[in-house]
């Protein structure tokens, strides 16, 4: 199943101490006011008894998390500032995925690819667009890996 949604572009680099210290990096994403991440985390808790640590920024999709010293900083800054607050359409694939630690859902957004291209970045980021549901607590990482192995085993049995 896919969810069609709309959120606003927000620049992160001025939001936290970490980002203010990383002046070489540009971080921006799509945010919206709901608890999609917590909602899906509750299903993981119910199904697998695995409580996830929620994303620091809440429900969001990272669009840009790139080094931008190599490009024209002033132009990139001007463009991203102009785009901040713009409404971005995206689609969430509700098939939850895990690497045994992090849990997420795939996201598609032609508008997000276009924004990356406008800013001079590769339209396809290293980590594809996704909505992070959360990650396993340190003391539950072994359990999370076990769950991943069982999911993969189940999926293999289906094919």
- Write the CATH number for 102: 3.90.1140
Residue 14 has pLDDT above 80, yes or no: no
Residue 33 has pLDDT above 90, yes or no: no
Contacting residues for 130 by C-beta, under 8 A, at least 6 apart:
61, 104, 105, 106, 107
Name the domain count of the chain: 1
Residue 86 has pLDDT above 60, yes or no: yes
Full domain range(s) for residue 118: 2-158
What was the pLDDT predicted at 81?
Answer: 86
Under the banding of pLDDT at 50, 70 and 90, the label for residue 56 is confident
33-38 average pLDDT score: 90
User: Coil, helix or strand for 32?
Assistant: coil
The Cα–Cα gap between 65 and 25 comes to 7
What was the pLDDT predicted at 142?
Answer: 94
DSSP 85-141: T-EEEEEEE---EESSSEEEEEEE-HHHHHHHHHTTS-SS-SS--EEEEEEE-GGGH
């Amino acid at each position: 199943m896919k969810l069609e949604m709309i959120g606003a572009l927000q620049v992160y680099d001025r939001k936290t101490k970490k980002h203010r210290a990383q002046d070489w990096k540009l971080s921006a994403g799509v945010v919206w006011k709901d608890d999609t991440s917590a909602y899906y985390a509750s299903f993981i808790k119910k199904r697998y008894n695995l409580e996830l640590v929620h994303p620091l920024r809440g429900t969001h999709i990272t669009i840009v998390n790139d080094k931008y010293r190599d490009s024209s900083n002033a132009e990139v800054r001007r463009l991203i500032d102009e785009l901040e607050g713009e409404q971005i359409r995206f689609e969430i694939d509700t098939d939850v995925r895990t690497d045994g630690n992090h849990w997420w859902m795939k996201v598609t957004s032609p508008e997000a690819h276009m924004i990356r291209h406008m800013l001079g970045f590769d339209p396809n980021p290293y980590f594809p667009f996704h909505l992070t549901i959360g990650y396993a607590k340190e003391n539950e990482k072994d359990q999370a890996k076990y769950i991943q192995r069982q999911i993969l085993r189940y999926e293999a049995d289906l094919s």
